[in-house]
Amino acid sequence: MSNSMSNAANKSILKKMMGFREITLIFIIIVISAIISILSPNFLTAENLITTALGLAADGILAIGMTVVLVSGGVDLSVGSVLGLSAVIAGGLYLNYGVNIWIGSLIALVICALIGLFNGYFIARIGIPPLIVTLAMMGIARGAAYVLTQGSPLSLYGNLKGFDFLGQGKIAGIPFFIIFFILLIILFDFLMRKSAPMRLVYYVGSNENAAKLSGINVPKVKISVYVLMSVLAGIAGIFTLSRFSVAAPTAGNGSELNAISACVIGGASLAGGEGTVLGAILGTILVGIINNALVLLNVSVYWQNLVSGVILIAAVTIDYLTHQKKS
């Protein structure tokens, strides 16, 4: 009797944490991982799993922020460029001007927040579509990264004592970057499910006009969402700088598409009002292991870009057909 009650309770908790989409994604990830491990024995080695997890951490941070943006009814194409610019600003201030790397990182995050404020203001106050605003910012941020570095990566190798712990350090054998990422998942999963501010994001994304009529400050919500997204992209950039000890102007190139794909695969709607952090992370894992498999199987980088594009169009198509069926 007690066992049956315990099993029922566990199932109830599982249902609260995960929906059908999340459970399906877990099954797909397990199946694909099994197939890849057969094709490439190196897939399940500890070294490859840790390397893959570290790569997923940066993409996953972007996916968390992108989930919030998509739920609000928006989209942000500038996140990959903002990631790269964040690393370049922090690294450049340290290398060229002798600014303490921690202070430089803080300055970089403030600039990222201002970028998000710019995006949010033009979207929420001026009324320009988010696709146009963030596409423009993608070019501005990437261009600024190239200008600041003159197109060449800034090497900080051996000069980041203490700071390198963020991306290279370990606690009990587990990379700190992964621990930080897991804590971020737990935090935002809780906030998206339980916090009042995040409920406002869902209201705005579900029906903006109804949200306005109910007294919600829609522009404030939207601006806050884009500031949050840019700050998270900046954090991912700082961790990337710490991990590789290089501030490359190309860092984060294409990450915005991976983030959008992961979120949509995980159940976020491009129409707004739907999406979960857990779904986005599972989508990130799925996209990540597919990309990792292509590398292990020595597939050309050109094919990798093609596959990323196919994954995105497939995810968007599924999202469109799902909402057509609902309507």
| pLDDT tens sequence across 218-241 | 999 999 999 999 999 999 999 999
Burial of 214 (0-12, 13-18, 19+ CB in 10 A): exposed
Q: Does residue 174 lie within any of the structural domains?
A: yes
Reported confidence tier of residue 250, pLDDT bands at 50, 70, 90? very high
Contacts of 308 (CB under 8 A, 6+ apart): 254, 257, 258, 261, 287, 291
pLDDT at 307: 84
Q: Does residue 172 lie within any of the structural domains?
A: yes
Contacts of 126 (CB under 8 A, 6+ apart): none
For the chain, the average pLDDT equals 91
pTM of the complete model: 0.91
Q: How far is 222 from 65, CA to CA, in rounded Å?
A: 13
| Cβ proximity of 80 and 138 under 8 Å | yes
Q: Does residue 146 lie within any of the structural domains?
A: yes
**Percent of residues, the chain, with pLDDT higher than 90:** 78
pLDDT at 159: 77
Element (H, E) at 247: strand 246-247
The tally of domains found in the chain comes to 1
Q: Does residue 11 lie within any of the structural domains?
A: no
User: Which has the closest alpha carbon to 315: 271, 253, 260?
Assistant: 260
CB atoms within 10 A of CB 124: 24
Overall average pLDDT of the 55-69 stretch: 97
Q: Does residue 107 lie within any of the structural domains?
A: yes
Q: Does residue 280 lie within any of the structural domains?
A: no
pLDDT at 7 over 70: no
Report the relative pairing of strands 246-247 and 154-155 from DSSP bridges.
antiparallel
Q: Does residue 242 lie within any of the structural domains?
A: yes
pLDDT at 224: 98
User: Which has the closest alpha carbon to 80: 284, 309, 229, 256?
Assistant: 256
Q: Which domain holds residue 94?
A: 45-252
How confident is the model over 129-143, as pLDDT tens digits?
A: 999 999 999 999 999
Q: Does residue 208 lie within any of the structural domains?
A: yes
In 135-238 the beta strands, taken as DSSP E runs, fall at 154-155, 170-171, 174-175
Q: How far is 137 from 143, CA to CA, in rounded Å?
A: 9
Reported confidence tier of residue 18, pLDDT bands at 50, 70, 90? low
Overall average pLDDT of the 153-182 stretch: 92
